[in-house]
Amino acid sequence: MENNKEFGKIRSIIFPIYTSELRKFIPLTSIFFIISFNYSILRSLKDMFILQNAGAEVIYYLKVFGVMPSIILMTIIYSKISKGVSRDTRFNIVIAYFLVLFGITYLFLIPNLEALKLDSLADSLEKSMPKLLGLWEAIRYWPLSLLYINAEAWGTLALSVLFWTFVNEITPTHQAKRFYSFLSLGASIGLMIAGTMIKIFKDNFNALLGFVFVFVVLLLVIYNIFVQDVRKNPALYQVEQKPKKKKVKTTFWESIQFLAKSRYLALIAILVLSYNMFISLFESVWKSAIKELITTTGDQSISAHVYGDQGIYGGIATIILTLFFSAPIMNKGWRFAASFTPVVALVCTVVFFTFLYCQNSLDAVTTMLNTSPIMLAVMFGLANVVFIKSAKYILFDPTKERAYIPLDEEAKIRGKAAVDGVGSRLGKSLGSFLLTMVLLPLFGNGHIENVRYHVFFILIAILIVWLIAINKLSVRYNKLNEEQEKQEKEVL
């Protein structure tokens, strides 16, 4: 599938995909659409269920004591599965697990939530250790906690590990530069549709879970049809026919040690940890404002409207950034493109926290807009989250995934499982641990709004480390690419 014709100036910015590449691009975009649709629904559902039933504090205890151990366990199992089965079988096993789990939750657990609550156990634990109320509420509402954990796992396994591993295997480096940002078009449409549906079904959260179940089935169908065509026509998809190396059997912990020994992979891990720790802490301040708004107004549907708007506006922003900005930014080099997300995050952080500091002085503005300071804070935080996550979709994810391409097969599989399988959840869990175990007990008196300025300085420190890691990784990335290009010329 060779393409020698150069794009025109406008086409190179808006849609630099050759017609002959649509056979690959459209199925990959469709798969990305489904995974992102489900991710957006699940990301919102897990928070909305908890906020409606158990309280905001439960979220951060779940991230520390539920999500992180579960993701480690799932990654161990995934690593063991990877040793004996093919890529496609591995994909089907993981997605089938989610299909069963979400099906049981939709058909049985949520409809019978009141009957399944562990009230007696939670009440006794609360009496013995009342300071850990959020943890005991997570146990009380264990079906919601189970959904929360697996919703987080979907983002890690289905999106970060399965999807991008598959894309990396069938996309050469020269094509990835054009493809990766534009694959986010499918994700953007998924976000917008999911956001709209969250607002439509704001009074029936479980119906949204039913849509997730249906889309998981559709994902399995599309993926398996697509890979059949890939296997039959490898040349059409530019699948490199490399001699297979003997598989190295390692345990999960050996994979982590392998990661620690590779400076290159360690730097990728720092990028992943930095983003996830940043977004966990940034959203903690924003979500506390959402909870305060719900408490003030008594309107439980507010969370559905906010999360729905996040999906809709996030999709629109991602499409605009993809069509008009991603190609010019990518053309300026890997380091420039990779730095875009933390720079956007830095600007948003300074602006958002400045607004929080000054919101009590904005009476004239809130009166003019017929709103309240807390409502304005929620919507301002929403705008910042939308910009940061849009930058993540079109530039952070593509540049991170491009960083894996020059690596050998062993480093891709073992390193990616360790970095993406655990790194993303570890970053969020570290943020939650820092919040629940350090900041709130020492400085916050149990309330997030009392530590938001402590959070601000931690966020700035994270962003500095993130940018330093990008600078160091870019040097190694460019060197690996040069070596790879030299080897390809020698073979030719």
Quick: pLDDT tens for 329-346: 888 889 999 999 999 999
Q: What is the pLDDT of residue 22?
A: 86
> What local confidence, expressed as pLDDT, does residue 240 receive?
54
Query: Could you tell me the pLDDT band of residue 463, with boundaries at 50, 70 and 90?
Result: very high
Res 248: pLDDT: 45
Of 37-41, 149-153, 216-220, 448-452, give the lowest mean pLDDT range.
448-452
pLDDT value for 48: 84
pLDDT of residue 53: 81
Span 90-104, average pLDDT: 94
Mean of the per-residue pLDDT values of the chain: 82
**Res. 465: pLDDT tops 90:** yes
Q: Distance between CA 45 and CA 52 in Å, rounded?
A: 10
What integer is the mean pLDDT of 232-252?
A: 56
| 423 has a pLDDT exceeding 70 | no
Query: Are 467 and 461 within 8 A, CB to CB?
Result: no
pLDDT of amino acid 243: 46
In this model, does residue 460 exceed pLDDT 90? yes
What pLDDT, in 10s, does the model give residues 244-288? Answer: 444 444 455 665 676 677 888 889 989 999 998 999 888 888 887
In whole angstroms, give the CA distance from residue 89 to residue 84: 10
Name the band, by pLDDT with cuts 50, 70 and 90, for residue 100: very high
Provide mean pLDDT across the span 209-235: 91
Measured distance CA(271)–CA(424) in Å, rounded:
9
What digits encode the pLDDT tens for the residues 303-332? 778 888 888 888 888 888 887 888 888 888
pLDDT at residue 427 is higher than 90: no
Name which residue leads in pLDDT, 196 or 173: 196
pLDDT of residue 2: 46
Structure tokens at 275: 């983003």
Of the two residues 246 and 139, the one the predictor is more confident about is 139
CA-based nearest residue to 333, from 270, 395, 269, 393: 395
Q: Looking at residues 101-113, what average pLDDT do you find?
A: 94
Looking at residue 244, what is its pLDDT? Answer: 46
Q: Who wins on pLDDT, 294 or 281?
A: 281
CA angle at residue 18 from 17 to 24, to 5 degrees? 75
**What pLDDT is attached to residue 446?**
61
pTM summary value: 0.71
User: Residue 236 — very low, low, confident or very high, per pLDDT cuts 50/70/90?
Assistant: low
If you count them, how many residues does the chain have?
A: 492
pLDDT in tens, 44-62: 888 888 877 876 668 878 8
Span 381-396, average pLDDT: 87
